[in-house]
Amino acid sequence: MSRTSLSRFLIEQQREAGALPPDLRHLIETIARACKAISHSVNKGALAGILGEAGTGNVQGEAQKKLDVIANDVLLEANEWGGNLAAMASEEMELPYSIPDGLPRGRYLLLFDPLDGSSNIDVNISVGTIFSVLECPESVTGHPTEADFLQPGTRQVAAGYTVYGPQTMLVLTFGNGVYGFTLDREQGGFVLTHPQMKVPAATGEFAINMSNMRHWEAPVKRYVDELLAGKTGPLNKDYNMRWVASMVAEVHRILTRGGIFMYPKDARDPAKPGKLRLMYEGNPMAFIVEQAGGLATNGHQRIMEIEPSKLHERVAVFLGSREEVERVTAYHRG
């Protein structure tokens, strides 16, 4: 059986009415190669001596794992010389990373969470990489600044994630559906295995960190109470709960069999609108889920329509199967 490689798929997308510009194709291929390298490090784990704490903290004030730092460096080094980018921004770095002088610059901006769910690394549970691609404003003539990245998610030209699980999978969207590729380690490349992924409209699963229940706002408490009530409650249906503590793993499960993932705002820090990062997690995952037929809101509005005010802005997230996201969003608005 003939199999479609990632490179062939991207070339075909480029040829079909110019659906994919050549420089964006090259950028995605570069990201894919970087993710293969990260996958190799994740798979080696303790054999390579790269588990455990790095002894450093990121801009979020969180302790970094060794693999956080490794994955961040791999993505920076792979993408700085390709000529497709004007600058990059990472969840692990306070400021944007400009393409060094002397190297060619392109018209795109790349944002990424190099290793989502890194608290799972040492216990061998799935982690992943998330990325988002924007166009650099045409007015920029020198090095892009933080302000140039502050674009709503509706202006993304591509987004994707790689999940490092029993199989390594790359999931992509360019705004014309969602496509999944599995890494064939014998051949050394990604192969199209999941064309036109879709989120089922209805679901019997939800994912939320129940340990934070006492801090939730009333609409979230109401909604989760109804889910837990099952057939005896107003939704007249039993639900299963899942929680992996890795957004990539949660979203991948939803794309595969449906569900709703929630990381709401809570009362522990009222000044923060949520826990997850809008630019590195909320926007790219919202783009993917919407392209697969699902919904993504912050409880009040579509995530991709939020006008960002800073690079590391946080956001509440409700995403997944349409019926459930509509319900919990209606409770917030009501």
Which positions make up the binding site for substrate? 116-119, 209, 275
- Which phi and psi angles does 207 have, rounded to 5°? -130, 120
The C-alpha atoms of residue 57 and residue 35 are separated, in whole angstroms, by: 23
Other CB atoms within 10 A of residue 330 CB:
12
Distances (CA, A) of 5 to 23, 183, 196, 293: 18, 10, 15, 25
- What interhelical angle do 283-291 and 247-257 show, nearest 10? 10
Dump strand ranges (E) for 38-100: 53-57, 63-65, 85-90, 97-98
**Which residue ranges are tagged as binding site for Mg(2+)?**
91, 113, 115-116, 281
The per-type count for the chain, helices as H runs and strands as E runs, is: 8, 17
Q: Tokens in use for 107?
A: 């018209």
**Which residue ranges are tagged as binding site?**
91, 113, 115-119, 209, 275, 281
Return the exposure string of 54-83: e unless at least 16 CB atoms fall within 10 Å of the residue's CB, then b: beeebeeeeebbbbbbbbbebbbebbbebe
- Which phi and psi angles does 148 have, rounded to 5°? -70, -20
Q: Are 72 and 92 in contact (CB under 8 A)?
A: yes
Q: Are 93 and 120 in contact (CB under 8 A)?
A: no
Q: Are 109 and 89 in contact (CB under 8 A)?
A: yes
- Which phi and psi angles does 134 have, rounded to 5°? -120, 160
